[in-house]
Amino acid sequence: MKSNKPNSSDKRGTITRRQFLSRGTMAASAVALPYFIPASALGRGGAVAPSARIVMGGIGLGGRGSYDLSVMLAQPDVQWVAACDVVKSRREAAKNTVDGHYGNKDCVAYGDMRQLLAERTDIEAVLIATGDRWHALASTWAMRAGKDVYCEKPACLTMAQGQTVVETARRYGRVYQTGAQRLSEPHHVYAIEMARSGRLGPIHTAYADCRWRDGNRHDWLPAEPEPPKEEMDWDLWLGACPWRPYNSTYVNGGGWYHFHDFATDVAMWGAHTVAQALAGFDMENISTIDFEYAGPEATIMTRLSNGVKLVLYRAAGSVWDQCEYWHGACGERFDGPEGWTAAADGYSKTDVSSPALLADYKKVLAEYTARTQRPMNHVRDFLDCVRSRRSPVANPEVMYRSMCICLAADISGQLKRNLKFDLRKAEFIGDAEANRMRSRAMRPPYAV
């Protein structure tokens, strides 16, 4: 008969009294001595607790995207968790940047944004800094996936794409900011406020720097052997653009900028500056805009329906060359009967026609901040709006309006004729050929 006592050679089922007392002491010690929890994890010492951080990922993190990433990582309420780029070396570099910032290996690298958007339900907002050909489509996909979007400019290649972004943001209730960051910089804000507030009198002329000329080549480069797909997926890089043979010039050093397949012409730089010029007016009262074609590289004169002349300034040379309206790149200017104000990159204060126009510099900026409750920081404005759900300064409507004007100027240049554009309907008046150019075919499966 088998004994009910455990086998003396099998110690797994029993412990001695001494073992019991010893284990009890260790357990009590564990209760008495809590684990060390860093203050940052609890939100102490000025840090933001993890539960209160905005969880973010990035799509397209080479070039401008790497700069944006560094700016966003510096914000204390951001938690970066994913890096996506079709080029392996770029996504790995971005992952290393994020991991180095946090001191861990937690950032996940993706080669296809569709995987990131489908899998990462924890991500609340994304940075999109791909090449221009992907901006609108990636933004649309991200907002449909429930993400808020900070997207670099130009925000779209066509008016149809821009309208889709507007409609998607509205339908899905997403926060969207385009990277027209000068709308949040003090010297630009002051120039805009001087125009908007009437301190210059009724504005008769506004200027926007559109000197960077690109995106007008309609040929394509000769074929080169494609890299391995795991290093760079060429089909995915092209996205909705027409199929073209691989050439490393497109990918390295921004060579795609020069080709109509992947970019725009006036909108390449006008996407920076036209929004700045328009911000000085009450755009609700402007219905139409006339475009005067003067030549393939000439300054484009336009007339808004409120009588203001909007000059899309183009000249030989680069945006960094001196011009008569401002010094530096990305400038805007407003002329009125009481004087003019202008701003561009590199300014410490707004340029003015008379020193007296700077007398209220601090007051005007303080009034702007009080009225709008916006920081003088474009990324910060986006993040604050992610929390509050209010509309950012460079919201979808601001983006779409300025891009429509840039793209209409592009179409006027391609057709080599004057055009009249209905800004409210986003269509040309009496020109069917121009209206057909408001969209481009999108190559499957990369479509909205």
CATH class of 181-214+264-436: alpha beta
* Average confidence score pLDDT of the chain: 90
Q: Which is nearest to 319 in space by CA: 273, 282, 254, 365?
A: 273
Alpha-carbon torsion angle 124, 128, 133, 138, nearest 10: -10
106 pLDDT above the threshold of 50? yes
Residue 37 — pLDDT band, cuts 50, 70, 90? very low
192 pLDDT above the threshold of 90? yes
Residue 51 vs residue 263, higher pLDDT:
263
Q: Span 101-121, mean pLDDT?
A: 98
Q: b or e along 24-45 (b: 16 or more beta carbons within 10 Å of the residue's beta carbon)?
A: eeeeeeeeeeeeeeeeeeeeee
Residue 49 — pLDDT band, cuts 50, 70, 90? confident
Residue 267 vs residue 178, higher pLDDT:
178
Q: Span 69-96, mean pLDDT?
A: 97
| Residues 419 and 303 sit within 8 Å (Cβ to Cβ) | no
Q: Give the separation between CA 427 and CA 312, rounded to whole angstroms.
A: 20
| Residues 320 and 295 sit within 8 Å (Cβ to Cβ) | no
Cβ count near 176 (within 10 Å): 29
Q: Span 226-238, mean pLDDT?
A: 97
> What is the total residue count of the chain?
448
Residue 20 vs residue 268, higher pLDDT:
268
21 pLDDT above the threshold of 70? no
What are the sequence ranges of the domains in the chain?
47-178, 181-214+264-436
Q: Give the separation between CA 333 and CA 172, rounded to whole angstroms.
A: 36
31 pLDDT above the threshold of 90? no
Of 45-59, 117-131, 165-179, 213-227, the range with the lowest mean pLDDT is 45-59
302 pLDDT above the threshold of 60? yes
Architecture of the domain delimited by 47-178: 3-Layer(aba) Sandwich (3.40)
Q: Give the separation between CA 327 and CA 391, rounded to whole angstroms.
A: 32
336 pLDDT above the threshold of 70? yes
pTM for the complete prediction?
0.88
